[in-house]
Amino acid sequence: MEKSFSKKGNPVLARMNRYEDSTVGERASFKGIAAKSFYFLALILLGLAAFLYMHSYFGNQGYDAVEITENYTIYANEMVIFTGATIATLIAGLIAAFAPRTTPVTGSIYCAGMGYAVTFISYTYAAQVKGIVVEALLLTILLIAVMAVLYFTGIVKVGSRFRTVTYTALTATLIASVIFMLLRWIFPSSSIVKALVAVQYGPLGIVFAFLGVALACLLVIDDFDHIVTTVNYGLSKKYEWTASYGLMISIIYLYLRVLELIFRFSQRNN
């Protein structure tokens, strides 16, 4: 039998425990998690390549386009693909969250879809702020490196209080985002929506964007702890997929939050 994990410890491991089988098999390793992380990264890059190819294809075929700025255009077909990719990643992400066994498939769909969606989003930001994508990528890499140093040197320790704060903040953020999205969709011209949009582009918008980056950094640290615990507790090799997939989600989220933060600063300076 594989080891049993207390629900008082890592919540992800507690959930994983319900999916354990009686076969010991090969154990998870850092090398295996790294390999699967590079696999998911390759799928994200594949999604990026798909956007670049389709954007060039639609342009060469003369499809109807909407000009964002003088040198940036978006084609109607790209909006359809973006919507489809977003829906696919949402469904795949939900399935992976409740059925870890499906992560090799659902995680692959999520990463490929997010590769396209994130590139689409990055393109729209790049149309408004020159060099923002390169800046966001470099800052994301720097933050990941800093979080790794903080965790692996023991400066930041992941315990129950750390997770309570992180998951509570994440839940509150997701709920607020969904409410705001619904308000913009149902009451686009309401005074509440206009006020919230005004807040986004004011000083508070920068504060919220900064807090979003801080939350994403905490999630990255939490994923480092998941990876270490997965290996140290001798979980089955199949959980390498879950550990690497979780890290990819947090990295994507961090990049998007950094992108938004830089954009907010650029808007304030204009």
Min mean pLDDT across 23-27, 83-87, 256-260 is at 23-27
Phi then psi dihedrals of residue 10, to 5 deg:
-60, 120
Is 212 buried (19+), middle (13-18) or exposed (0-12) by CB count in 10 A?
Answer: buried
Which neighbouring-strand residues pair with 65?
75
Which comes out higher in pLDDT, residue 59 or 147? 147
CA distance 209 to 180: 15
- Here the tokens at position 55 are 């954007």
Task: Check whether 193 has a pLDDT greater than 50.
Answer: yes
What DSSP character marks residue 70? T
- CA nearest 129: which of 260, 39, 40, 237? 260
Cβ–Cβ < 8 Å for 266, 127? no
- Here the tokens at position 5 are 């994990």
Question: Given this model, what pLDDT does residue 2 score?
Answer: 41
pTM for this predicted structure: 0.86
CA distance readout (Å), 104 to 58, 101, 222? 32, 8, 21
- CA nearest 264: which of 148, 143, 132? 132
Which comes out higher in pLDDT, residue 165 or 16? 165
Q: What percent of the chain has pLDDT over 90?
A: 58
Helices then strands, each counted (H, E), the chain: 9, 2
Question: Given this model, what pLDDT does residue 68 score?
Answer: 67
Give residue-wise pLDDT tens across range 204-241: 888 889 999 999 999 999 999 999 999 999 888 999 99
What DSSP character marks residue 66? E
- Name the maximum alpha-carbon separation found in the chain: 63
Residue type at position 17:
N
Give residue-wise pLDDT tens across range 102-138: 999 999 999 999 999 999 999 999 988 989 999 999 9
Task: Check whether 74 has a pLDDT greater than 60.
Answer: yes
Per DSSP (E only), the strands in the chain are 65-69, 72-75
Residue type at position 93:
G
Matching residue, tokens 């003369």:
62
Q: How confident is the model at residue 178 (pLDDT cuts 50, 70, 90)?
A: confident
- Here the tokens at position 254 are 């961090």
Residue 5 contacts by C-beta under 8 Å, 6 or more apart in sequence?
A: 13, 14, 16, 17, 233
